[in-house]
Amino acid sequence: MPPSNGRARQDTLSAIGTHVSAMTSRIQRLSAAHQWIQRALVTATPQGLSRLDWIARRLSQT
């Protein structure tokens, strides 16, 4: 295999690894947000706020 093909393969594998890491991180953040929302659905909301407004405010703070 010529050196350029080896380098292209290495670059491709590196790009795939970077993408997988980014997607894994995104999934973990979404999972954490999902768990937070599930907990928020069973807790009391502050007086004068709808549950949806309260959840939206809390999520925008994170």
Give the per-residue pLDDT at 44.
83
- Which residues make Cβ contacts (< 8 Å) with residue 37, sequence separation at least 6? 55, 59
Please measure the distance between the N-terminal and C-terminal CA atoms of the chain and give it in whole angstroms. Answer: 49
pLDDT of residue 21: 95
Residue 34, both tokens:
């999902």
Look at the chain and count its residues.
62
Mean pLDDT of all residues in 26-46: 87
Question: pTM higher than 0.85, yes or no?
Answer: no
Print the domain residue range for 14: 3-61
pLDDT above 80 (res 8):
yes
**Domain total of the chain:** 1
